[in-house]
A and B are shown apart, each in its own frame.
Chain A
Amino acid sequence: MSTPVESSAQPPEGGGIKKLAAGLVQGESPYARRFDNFILVLIIVSLFSVGLEAIPHLPAWAVTALKFEELVVVAAFALEYLLRIIAADNKLAFIFSFYGLVDLLAIAPYFLTGLDTRFLRVLRILRVLRILKVQRRVLENTVAERTRELAHRNAALEHAQAQIKNELDVARALQIAILPSAFPARGGFSGSARMTPATTMGGDFYDFIELPDGRIGIVMADVSGKGVPAAFFMAVSRTSLREQAAHHHSPGACLARTNDLLCTQNPMELFVTVFYGILDHERGVLSYANGGHNPPLVARADGSVEALDGQGGLVLGVMPGMSYPDHTVQLQPDDRLVLYTDGVTEAFNSADEAYGVDRLISEIRAHGAGSPEALVEKIHSSVNDFAGIAPQSDDITLTALKWGSK
């Protein structure tokens, strides 16, 4: 491996013997590794023999064998001890270091004749610590190596992810940019709309369509699901609906035809909820049809708020041949119409409570007297305040219309 390996061993200096000694007792060369393992075996053998000696009435041959074994062990340890002193840059510091003293203790009992030094020999187990220390360093180096490799891969992944995110952000911006920014000013009606996308690409959309007969088509829609498939289906839905709107006087007929078209262009089996209304701004009449969308709310000048009836039409894109009945509602001056998606009413707070339609109605009651822009803004901040720190899981889309633009 060409990557530098961190090592606590000092680069050996001085003569050839010192270099040789250092190569054997320091660092991570294969020789050092083998030498370590050899010493480890000796430590275990010697500890084992201390145990054996404790057995009473050992046969004479065993006693002789153990004595010989002790001689070999002590000779090897003494040799190793000497090598370490030779290899050390600061010899005194080594001798009085913890491991230096442990090494000395390992051989000292042999030379202290006349004392029962068995307990001292047991201290040889401390020598295992040195081996473990070396092994741990080898392990740490391996882990560091793998960590570096992982970091490289993570960086590559992050880069790829950032690229995808950038492209999705651009797509999202395009998706929002195709939505109309202003309500077409006609007659006495004023309007405002706003979509706040969730972090992922979603499929909410609204639309204002200037129809050939002078009326205004009003759309509020929500594609099931999220991400790129939902965004594509949103674009297809919006285009189909716009195209059909120009050809159909009846909103229900427009939805029925759009539904048939979407059913043939829907490989992902997504669907879209659509409210489509046609506003006669001169007479204040809204005719509409509903394909599975949350019913818009009408706030009357007397303070009452009601949901537009005629719900329960099938969402679009599921089954061809469906029909969508037309409904009409007569608006009065100062009435407000609020269209929304379930991102509003199903905004959840951290306690898992939904914002709900009741809160929406009280916001409309409280702020309906102002401009549609102000109303949209008020509802929006009310939803945000309610959700608090809970992440926005769905697009939040709102449209407010008012007859009498004062």
Chain B
Amino acid sequence: MKARVEVLDLATVVIAEGRLDFSAAAGFQAEVEQALGGSGKAPAALIIDCAGLEYVSSAGLRVFLLAARSAQRAGMWFAVCGLRQVVREVFSLSGFSQVMNVLPDRASALAQVPRKPA
């Protein structure tokens, strides 16, 4: 499991790669939390890019839930994107797709970030 953070103008993107199981969950969660508050100025949106995510267990799924919660508390728009088939099935089976924005890829996620009126 690897995670890296990219800070863009519109959003902070956390890129998740590898297998997100119980043993990887805590590290990934720390990465997400850092993305939420680490860079000083809170970003307008948090996107978790799962294009490189190969597997997610139920404990791993919990990190997405916590991220969505934290983003909501911070007034940030939240989305996950780029889910591979096997990960998308877990999101759909658990009902997570119903309660968070799940988008096909990063471009479509960025396109949906709500713009603040100028």
Contacts and interface: CB of A to CB of B under 8 A. Distances in A.
Q: Do A and B bind each other?
A: yes
Interface of A: 222, 224-226, 269-271, 273, 291-294, 311-315, 318-319, 322, 342, 346, 393-394
Interface residues of B, number: 19
Contact of A319 (B21, B59, B99): B99
Nearest to A313: B95
Contacts of B95: 291-292, 312-315, 322
Contacts of A222: 58
Given A226-B59, A271-B62, A313-B95, 19 more contacts: A224-B58, A224-B61, A225-B59, A226-B22, A271-B65, A273-B58, A273-B94, A294-B93, A311-B93, A312-B98, A314-B94, A314-B95, A315-B96, A318-B65, A319-B99, A342-B58, A346-B57, A393-B21, A394-B22
Given A314-B98, A318-B99, A224 B62 contact: yes
A270 B62 contact: yes
A293 B66 CA distance: 20
B69 A269 contact: yes
Interface string B14-33: 00000001100100000000
Given A269-B66, A273-B58, A393 B94 contact: no
Contacts, number: 55
A312 B99 CA distance: 11
A393 B25 CA distance: 14
B58 to A, nearest CB: 4
A224 B22 CA distance: 9
Residue of B61, B62, B95 with most chain A CB atoms under a 10 A cut-off: B95
Interface string B48-62: 000000000111011
A350 B65 CA distance: 30
A393 to B, nearest CB: 7
B34 interface: no
B108 interface: no
Contacts of B66: 269
A137 to B, nearest CB: 45
A271 B57 CA distance: 13
Interface of B: 21-22, 25, 57-59, 61-62, 65-66, 69, 92-99
A292 B94 contact: yes
Contacts of A314: 94-96, 98-99
User: What are the 3 A-B residue pairs with the smallest beta carbon separation, nearest first?
Assistant: A314-B95, A292-B94, A224-B58
A315 B94 contact: yes
B22 A393 contact: yes
Contacts of B57: 342, 346, 394
A224 B25 CA distance: 11
A226 B23 CA distance: 10
Contacts of B96: 292, 314-315
30 contacts: A222-B58, A224-B61, A224-B62, A225-B25, A226-B59, A269-B62, A269-B66, A271-B62, A271-B65, A273-B58, A273-B94, A291-B95, A292-B93, A292-B94, A294-B93, A311-B92, A312-B93, A312-B98, A314-B94, A314-B95, A314-B96, A314-B98, A315-B95, A315-B96, A318-B65, A319-B99, A342-B57, A346-B57, A393-B21, A393-B22
A291 B96 CA distance: 11
Nearest to A291: B95
Contacts of A294: 93
A315 B59 CA distance: 12
Contacts of B98: 312, 314
